[in-house]
Amino acid sequence: MEARRAHVARGPFHSTPVFVARASGAVVEDVDGNRLLDFASGIAVTNLGHAPEDVVRAIQGQAERFLHTSFNVVPYEGYVALAERLNRLAPGRGPKKTFLANSGAEAVENAVKIARAHTRRQGVVCFDHAFHGRTFMAMSLTSKAVYRHGFAPYCGEVYRTPFPYAYRSPEPDAGAWAFRAFRDLVQNHMGPDNLAAVILEPVLGEGGFVDAPKQFVKDLASFCADHGAVFIADEIQTGFGRTGTLFACEQYGVEPDLVTLAKGLGSGLPISAVTGRAEIMDAPIEGAIGGTYGGNPVACAAALAVLDRFEADGFALVGKAKRLGERIGERLMAWKERHPRIGDVRGLGPMRGIELVKDPSTKEPDKAAAGALARFCMQRGLVILTAGTYGNVIRLLVPLTIEEDELEEGLGVIEAGLDEIGRSA
């Protein structure tokens, strides 16, 4: 860590003070030989666990053939095959096309470019508490101050409106309240004729694992369709079984015009995608979108192996993820009944959040308690992450392949940590 401070820019943060030596399944082993259960999954990346054998074999096989040519120079079958698979699996009927990139932020940047090229408009609406990445357009769409500090001015024609955060909503029907605010913004402040796209995380990621109400998402999609705007679903964190379905949009009954994908797609290799309606995806002229490394052949091989795993046995892994979510959800609800510091528990499938507060009546965020719980767990061999605009949410991102005894062990550590926080209150 001393060498890291001497040679690495201070910007990247660390949730734990350990350095990994190897990892397998749900277990990380550090350089000192300590073994830790991983309930973070590399921030929703290793949905299949660390180093799944079938994905590793696919990576090895491709690495032996060739590592890179650039799809723009000498194309290769893996890119095309992955695009075809994503077109078939992504939500939405009708012809679809896919563009591959390297990271979630890059997918978001290109989704906005594609939407603007298609609509010939500029305005993009995003939401409070959102996280869409750290590059300039993605950062401009992101809400939390720490990710934007010192980097202004931000990209123009970005408009922000409230997210339906039910626990902190000023009205009982958070979705109806947030949709009225959205409609007022578009109709009275920016003008529908300037609206190129609306981008939404079905479940907030960094913003605190808040799932959007279903009617709100349907209303947004309908509004976009009625006004010729592009509805972008950011499924970078929610995709690939994380919410108990392959994509979260399946639970909302909507068909986004574009969907951004990354994280779980590559099982640890850097790859992302924009998938959507063919006529929208084809809006940029030839050569307008691309990149040297986008859709790298080794990353494509990994992603194809990931999709093989999800499609195996009639999407059995997705079914397991749903059951996993039900089990975690029941446990979290039981904790909420016992612990007054737990203000809210929420999420979809196994993508679950625990919001900690100082007082349930005032709902004052307790960032210190979330940090203390994360440290308690790490010291007892469990990696968990905090999240939320106020830093007071514990987010659970267990590998979808986790063994039953590992899940129970990890949940037991969290429960003990909650009890400890309760005693020290």
| Domain boundary pick from 309, 324, 350 | 309
pLDDT score of 425: 62
| Domain boundary pick from 309, 329, 348 | 309
- Continuous segment of H or E residues that includes residue 409: helix 404-424
Burial of 235 (0-12, 13-18, 19+ CB in 10 A): buried
**Interior/surface letters 256-295, b for 16+ CB within 10 angstroms, e for the rest:** bbbbbbbbbbbbbbbbbbbbbbeebbebbeeeebbbeebb
pLDDT score of 135: 97
Q: Does this model's pTM top 0.85?
A: yes
Q: In this structure, how many other beta carbons lie within 10 angstroms of the beta carbon of residue 371?
A: 15
- Whose tokens are 């980097």? That residue is 151
Total tally of structural domains belonging to the chain: 2
pLDDT mean by block of 10 residues, the chain; 425 residues: 95 93 98 97 98 98 98 98 98 96 98 98 98 98 95 96 98 98 97 98 98 98 98 98 98 97 98 98 97 98 98 96 97 96 97 97 97 97 97 98 97 96 77
pLDDT score of 424: 74
Same domain, 112 and 186: yes
pLDDT score of 423: 81
Apex 84 CA angle, 114 and 59, nearest 5: 105
CA 382 to chain centroid, in Å, comes to 21
| CA–CA dist 236, 133 (Å, integer) | 10
Same domain, 128 and 196: yes
- CATH code of the domain covering residue 26: 3.90.1150.10
Same domain, 15 and 80: no
Same domain, 116 and 257: yes
Strands 342-348 and 351-356: antiparallel
Question: Considering only CA atoms, which of 7, 30, 8 is closest in space to residue 17?
Answer: 30
Same domain, 103 and 217: yes
Torsion of CA 221, 121, 90, 204, to 10 degrees: -60
Q: Which domain holds residue 403?
A: 2-52+315-424
| Domain boundary pick from 309, 324, 347 | 309
CA 158 to chain centroid, in Å, comes to 21
- CATH code of the domain covering residue 106: 3.40.640.10
Q: Do residues 41 and 52 lie in contact, with contact meaning Cβ atoms separated by under 8 Å?
A: no
